[in-house]
Amino acid sequence: MVRSALAPRGGRTRSACDLCRHKKIRCDGVKPACETCRCAGVFCTFTTPEPQPHKSVREQLSDSKARVRQLEEALVAQGYHLPDLQAFYSPAPPLLRNTSEFDAAIEAFQWHIAFCGPGVANTAERQSFYSNIYQHTGSVFNIDDFCHQVTRSFKWRYPNQPKTGSKPKWPTTYLVQQCIEYYSRNGLYSIFPIVDTEALQSLLNAGTLNQSQQTGRASNRACLVAFTAMISRIHRHDPVFAGTDSDGYMQAVLTLLPNLLMEDPDIRTLESILILALYLAPMGQPQSAELLLAVAIRVLLNLGGQRPIELIEGTPRDREHLRNLFWACYGPDKEMSIRKRQQPMLQDEDCDLELPAKYVLQSSDHQFLQKKLSADRLLYPSDLRLAMLKSKIHRFLYSDHARVQSDARRLQYIRELDQELSDLKASFPPRFQPDAYFATETTPDYSFHDLSMRGVGMHLDYYFCLGKIHEASSNTSMPSPTSWSLLPSSMELYYQAARSTLFYMNRVCHFVNPDTFW
C-alpha cells in the first residue's frame, strides 16, 4: 500500500484510499488494507495528487479576464456581434464639472438663475418673473429660449469643444507647504479667515497627508487638501501654482466626505466643510454649496461658535479663531437667505453679533484699495455690517412674518432700512461712497481700477441692498408705490440700483476674479 500524507490545502491530511474516495465513502485507514478493499478483494492504494499552486485573487482575476478575452475573440471569429459593455462599467462622472466648458457654464448659469429668484421652468416663480418683465418693458423674455439661442450660436462658432474632467488627486506635501506659506505671507487670513495655519502646519509636519483613510481623522486630511485646492484655485495665476489641479484636489476631499460627517466634529471639520461650500458656490452649484454650508453651521453651533467668546471652550487662540469662523459662515448664510428668500440658518437673536476685536470697524481707505493685508486686521470679503443689514432686510421685508404685515408697516420698514443703508454708506470715506462711482458709460476707468476686489464687492453689495429694500415696495397691495407719500420714488430707486449694478459689472468684469468675487 502506498499512502501519502500530502496536505495540499488547509493543512488537512488525505486519509481515504483510492477506492473509498471513488465511492465517496468513509475509509477506516487500516493497514495494509481497509475493510472496503478487503471485501472487494483489491489492493488498497493511495494515489498522491499533484500539488496545486495557490494563486492570489488578483492572479485569478487576471486569468479570468484572459479567458473572457479568448472566448470573445472566438465569438467574433465566428461572426457574432458583441454589445458594447463599456457603458455599463464606465466610472461615475466627476462631482465637480469644469465650468470653462460651455455646457457646464450654461448649466451653472441656469442653476444660479433658479437659485436667485426666478425658479425653474414651468413654475409660478418663473411665470411671475416673465410677467414682471413684460409689465415694465413690454418685451417677452424666456430664459430657456435665451439659453438655447446662446448654445446654438456658440456651437456654431466653436463646433469642436473638447471635454475635460478632473479625477481625485492628492496634492504633494510640498504643494500644501507652499499654500500655507503663501496664505501666511500675503495675510490672506484678513479676507478668508478659514483655517488656523499653525494647526495645519502641525498636521503637515506629523505626516497627516500621507496617512491612509483608515488611520487618523478624516477631517485633518480633508482640511489640508481642501485648503490647498482653494488657495491654488483663487491664486492659480501666480507662478507658484502653475500646473496645479485644484478641482482634482477637491474631488479627493469629496471622497472623504462620508467619513468626515461620521466623525465627532471639531474645528478642522468646520474648516473643511466651509471651504467645500465656498469652493462650490461660484462653480454653478449653489444648491450643493447651500447644503454644505448648512452642515458647517450645524458644526459651528455644536462647537458654540455663535456664543460670546468668553463662553467658548478651548484655548484663547481656538476661541478667537472659532469666532472668526462664525462670521465667515454668517456672511454667506445671509447672502443665500436673501437671494433665495428663505429663512437663514443663523438666527440673529440666537447669536452674539459683537464684531471681532481685530475687525476694521471704522471704515478707511484700507477697506477699498489694494493694500498689503495682515492677519491682525480682519476685513472679510465685504463689510460685516452689510451682512447684518441683509439679515434685517429679509426679516422685515421678505420673511413669512413680513408678508402678513400691513402695507403701512412694510413701507415704514422700507424707509427705516433705506436710512440705515444711507448711514452706513456715509461712514465710508467720501471718495469711496458708491454714489461717487455712479457707473455709466462715461465713468473713467481709473474709478474702478483703483479699487481692490473687496472694494468692488462692497459697491455691488450696496447696490444689491438698495435694490432689495425698494423692490419690496412692489409687494404691497397699493396700486402704485408713488401713492405712498413717505416713499414717492421707491420703485425708481429699485430700477436705478439694478441699472447701476449692470453698468458696474460691465465695467469691471474684465478684471474680476470670478472665484473671489462670488
Q: Is 60 exceeded by the pLDDT of residue 487?
A: no
Q: What's the mean pLDDT in 506-514?
A: 70
| End-of-domain residue from the set 128, 163, 198 | 163
pLDDT by residue (tens digit) across 140-157? 888 888 888 988 888 888
Q: Is 50 exceeded by the pLDDT of residue 413?
A: yes
Q: What's the mean pLDDT in 366-388?
A: 86
Q: Are residues 200 and 346 in the same domain?
A: yes
The Cβ of residue 300 has, within 10 Å, a number of other Cβ atoms equal to 28
| End-of-domain residue from the set 354, 375, 402 | 354
Total number of domains in the chain: 3
Q: Are residues 369 and 258 in the same domain?
A: no
Highest mean predicted confidence (pLDDT) among 32-41, 221-230, 362-371, 472-481: 221-230
* Single-letter amino acid, residue 438: F
Sign, CA dihedral 438-443-445-447, equals negative
Sequence-distant (≥ 6) Cβ neighbours of residue 60 within 8 angstroms: none
Q: Is 70 exceeded by the pLDDT of residue 515?
A: no
Residue 121 lies in a domain: yes
The pLDDT of residue 14: 59
Query: With pLDDT > 90 as the criterion, what percentage of the chain qualifies?
Result: 36
Q: Are residues 327 and 233 in the same domain?
A: yes
Query: With pLDDT > 70 as the criterion, what percentage of the chain qualifies?
Result: 81
Q: Are residues 128 and 155 in the same domain?
A: yes
pLDDT by residue (tens digit) across 230-246? 999 888 888 889 889 99
The pLDDT of residue 89: 40
Residue 83 lies in a domain: no
Q: Are residues 259 and 369 in the same domain?
A: no
Q: Is 90 exceeded by the pLDDT of residue 312?
A: yes
Q: What string of DSSP letters covers 71-116?
A: HHHHHHHTTPPPP--HHHHPPPPPSS--TTSHHHHHHHHHHHHHHT
Q: Are residues 208 and 113 in the same domain?
A: no
Q: Between residues 35 and 439, which one has the greater pLDDT?
A: 35
Q: Are residues 367 and 459 in the same domain?
A: yes
* Single-letter amino acid, residue 487: L
Q: Is 80 exceeded by the pLDDT of residue 369?
A: no
Residue 16 lies in a domain: no
Residue 319 lies in a domain: yes
Mean of the per-residue pLDDT values of the chain: 82
Q: What string of DSSP letters covers 442-484?
A: TS-THHHHTB-HHHHHHHHHHHHHHHHHHHGGGGSSSS-GGGS
Q: Are residues 152 and 266 in the same domain?
A: no
Q: Are residues 186 and 327 in the same domain?
A: yes
Residue 76 lies in a domain: no
Residue 156 lies in a domain: yes
pLDDT-derived band of residue 10, with 50, 70 and 90 as boundaries? very low
Q: What's the mean pLDDT in 274-290?
A: 87
Q: Are residues 186 and 140 in the same domain?
A: no
* Boundaries of domain holding 409: 356-477+485-517
Of 244, 238, 249, the residue nearest 276 (C-alpha): 249
Please check whether residue 196 is in contact with residue 317, taking contact to mean a CB–CB distance below 8 angstroms.
Answer: yes
Q: Is 50 exceeded by the pLDDT of residue 211?
A: yes
The pLDDT of residue 481: 39
Residue 7 lies in a domain: no
Q: Are residues 327 and 362 in the same domain?
A: no
Rounded Cα distance, 490 and 476, in Å: 12
The pLDDT of residue 412: 92
pLDDT-derived band of residue 51, with 50, 70 and 90 as boundaries? low
Q: What's the mean pLDDT in 353-373?
A: 78
Residue 88 lies in a domain: no
Q: Are residues 344 and 465 in the same domain?
A: no
pLDDT-derived band of residue 5, with 50, 70 and 90 as boundaries? very low
The pLDDT of residue 136: 73
| End-of-domain residue from the set 331, 354, 377 | 354
Q: What's the mean pLDDT in 41-68?
A: 75
